A and B are shown apart, each in its own frame.
Chain A
Amino acid sequence: MDDIDRMIVNLLQTGFPVCELPYREAAQTLGITEDDLIARISRMLDEGVLTRFGPLFQAEQLGGAFTLAAISVPEADFERTAAIVNAMPEVAHNYERDHELNMWFVLATETAGGMARAKERIERDTGYPVIDMPKTREYFVGLKFEV
């Protein structure tokens, strides 16, 4: 990453225009060309510096079901279990954490019934009980990393 990449990451965490030529507009703010901006975003996605570029949706607003869940997996069985959990389309994110509950994942489904089925399937296929911690209130969401 060079200084221009860092400027791009910082600026694009705050938002992106909705207009005919949004890359050109953002590029002008950054003092670079439209082609350079598109090439740099593309490269940072390929390199994994950016995990996503685009609209970020609030799943609850779409009427679906959403939860944070965790399971406790013995180390020897961790990779098998991660493969099962990751293969499910309902799993939006999955993190390994250093705790007795060591696998934490977000489940997003379109219906409450779909959520119950996804949890049952994880319990059946992995063999571990799912601790389900749905959000009951959101106080703040605003991911921003100054890089």
Chain B
Amino acid sequence: MHAIDDIDRRIIVATQAGLPLTARPYHAIAAQVGVAPEEVMARVRRMQAAGIIRRIGAVPNHYAVGFRANGMAVWDVDDERVDELGEEIGVLPFISHCYRRRRVLPRWRYNLFTMVHGRSRAEVEDKVRRIAGLLGNAVRAHDILYSVRILKKTGLRLAKR
């Protein structure tokens, strides 16, 4: 965890709905926050280096760009081996997110989550079989939960102070 100060926080609040669509977006943020543009750019770069900002860029709507099948493949993996295997499969090009999460027994047995995207369910299932092959006998069970509908997608929102 990295400390952010009040100015960082104001930059986050000013950009969390999106970067201004004007020629000098960092200058527009600077005017809103009340600091120099150079300071905004320096702070944005610092937050990128610290991992507070993962990246600046576009998030496409999966469906709109042709990825109609979006599966959350979940795996019940031996706790002793899940970290090693998570790192290994996380590098596969078709996995966009790979996490370990807490099990909630008896309701939810799966501890490894991978988001797999494809143009069809058959394509997702093919990719999931490749993951299963890599996980091998460390897997006790797995399932694929396809997204049916995006109900909300706004991302992180910090409240103004």
Give the interface of A toward B (CB within 8 A): 1, 8-9, 12-16, 18-24, 34, 38, 41-42, 44-45, 47-63, 68, 70, 82, 85-86, 89, 91-99, 101-105, 108, 110, 131-145, 147
**B129 at interface, CB cutoff 8 A:** no
Q: Is there contact, CB below 8 Å, between A23 and B23?
A: yes
**B64 at interface, CB cutoff 8 A:** yes
Q: A61-B2, A96-B147 are in contact. Are A54 and B18 (CB under 8 A)?
A: yes
Secondary structure dominating the interface of B: mixed
Given the complex, which residues of B lie within 8 Å of A138, measured CB to CB?
A: 98-100
Q: A55-B44, A61-B1, A133-B108 are in contact. Are A49 and B152 (CB under 8 A)?
A: no
Given the complex, which residues of A lie within 8 Å of B147, measured CB to CB?
A: 95-97
Q: Is there contact, CB below 8 Å, between B156 and A48?
A: no
Pick from B86, B97, B151: contact of A137, CB under 8 Å? B86
Q: Is there contact, CB below 8 Å, between A24 and B23?
A: yes
Q: Is there contact, CB below 8 Å, between A9 and B65?
A: yes
Of A92, A110, A137, A147, most buried by chain B (CB within 10 Å of CB) is A137
